[in-house]
Amino acid sequence: MRERPRGACGRLGYYYAPMSTASELPSLRLDAGREQALERAAAIVARAWQSFDNARPGQPGVDERLHALLRAALPGDGSSALAALDDAAQLLDVSIAQPRPRFFAFVGSSGLEIGVLGDLLASCFDVNLAVWAGAASEVEDQAVRWVSEFVGFPAAAGAFTSGGTISNVTALAAARERALPGSRREGMTGARAALYCSQEAHYSVVRAAELLGIGSDHVRSLEMDDARRLRPDAVDAAIEADRAAGVTPVAVVATAGTTLTGAVDPIGPLADVCEERGVWLHVDGAYGVAAATTPSAGHLFAGLDRADSVTLDAHKWLFLPKACGVVLVRRHEDLHGALAHEEDYIPHERPDHHMVDITLEYSRPFRALKVWLAFRAHGAEAIRAAIERNLGQARLLHTEVARRDELEHLCGEPQLSIVPFRHVPAGMSEGELDDHNARLVEALQRQGDVWVAPARVDGKVCLRPCVVNYRTTDDDVRAFVEAVLEVGRDLR
């Protein structure tokens, strides 16, 4: 009979060991009580959450005291843990925090509150999901199922990763092994292979080609249609030409939300090409695939259920803190065949695979917990509604820009939530407009009321706002447009 753990059982079901003597206490103890330190950290987080609820005027800079702190040498002796936490809070307060409602740069994170708490719990228990980890392994499996169901992809297996780059490399490693069996062990051995994607696919596709031995020169960046989507006929022609030249097609990468403009490649027609040609279809949905579940954008993702693999970043449009990517595959054996191994230091003592058999990482934090908690605390409907709200705010932004003669769209109606535009004062040449808009972004960042990043669309420098924050309101969108006009006029 299994011996019951010694010690007392608390009200949450944890077993507490008997109190250690002073000589047995760990040497790396805080100078303050643990409860006191936790209370201070909780107070810092609560103040931050409160500050994120509304836009903050301006972006404070780093003062001289903090500069001096950051120039300090390696501490030989410890100091007050509470003082260190307070310093960390001040440094974070003057850092660029993406959860703020008027942060429109890049494809940001929102720092969903339940996700922050999930990270705290995951770090405290420090579970390693490289191997079987008891209930945590089952939570990860369940979270993979929930994400698959949420976006409408029939995944047989999946794993949580650090983000889209690792997810894409993982999926394309599986695609390479299917296209060139044995390549993971033998290398490419002179074989020539290719990937196919749009001209505006994420650079992680190129990185994957370089890391997997395919080579960046063999990434076929193909023509787009008028909606900036990959053309299936161009893919079909490129595959035919490569096979005629002795090049093995590894995968077609459909982007479900390009980082530059938010375009969604036509997944269904690309699936038709891949099915006919016998080529792996990977959907890079790091940014946009969460919108597949929404009423207004769901139609853009028709055919998603026919893909071989899909990636999603939960730290983008599931609103969770970084880093939390997901890679999903239709067949379990594809990931296993590309990544599984047997080592003396990690024997397979259980019938199921270790997670290291289907992922690239060994030291794997419990990323799935915050996704699991988000679905438990909010439910799929509330998350779906928050995404839909962001889609509506992007349409509002598009309308607000169209109303102003001084502003110019660089794309049509937003497919998702990216709305590139520029400020176009009368009488400026194209070169002057590029310089003006670059300076406009710099001025907006110095002011700090809103935060946006620059981009180039068809060679034109522009502002590229992206709305993926559940805290953002319609008033924040309108205020952003007014800030652009006010600062832009002052620059003339």
Q: What is the pLDDT of residue 14?
A: 65
Smallest Cα–Cα separation from 106: which of 465, 477, 480, 419? Answer: 465
- Cα atoms in the Cβ-side hemisphere of radius 13 Å centred on 92: 17
> Which domains can be identified in the chain, with CATH numbers?
117-376 (3.40.640.10)
Q: What is the pLDDT of residue 92?
A: 98
First to last CA, the chain: 82
8 Å CB contact between 284 and 205: yes
Q: What is the pLDDT of residue 344?
A: 82
Q: What is the pLDDT of residue 347?
A: 79
User: Which residue blocks in 53-134 are alpha helix, DSSP H?
Assistant: 64-70, 81-93, 113-125
8 Å CB contact between 327 and 315: no
pLDDT in tens, the chain (492 residues): 445 555 556 556 665 666 555 567 678 999 999 999 999 999 999 999 999 999 999 999 999 999 999 999 999 999 999 999 999 999 999 999 999 999 999 999 999 999 999 999 999 999 999 989 999 999 999 999 999 999 999 999 999 999 999 999 999 999 999 999 999 999 999 999 999 999 999 999 999 999 999 999 999 999 999 999 999 999 999 999 999 999 999 999 999 999 999 999 999 999 999 999 999 999 999 999 999 999 999 999 999 999 999 999 999 999 999 999 999 999 999 999 999 988 888 877 765 668 889 999 999 999 999 999 999 999 999 999 999 999 999 999 999 999 999 999 999 999 999 999 999 999 999 999 999 999 999 999 999 999 999 999 999 999 999 999 999 999 999 999 999 999 999 998
Smallest Cα–Cα separation from 134: which of 309, 303, 352? Answer: 352
Is the C-alpha dihedral spanning 443, 446, 449, 455 positive or negative?
A: positive
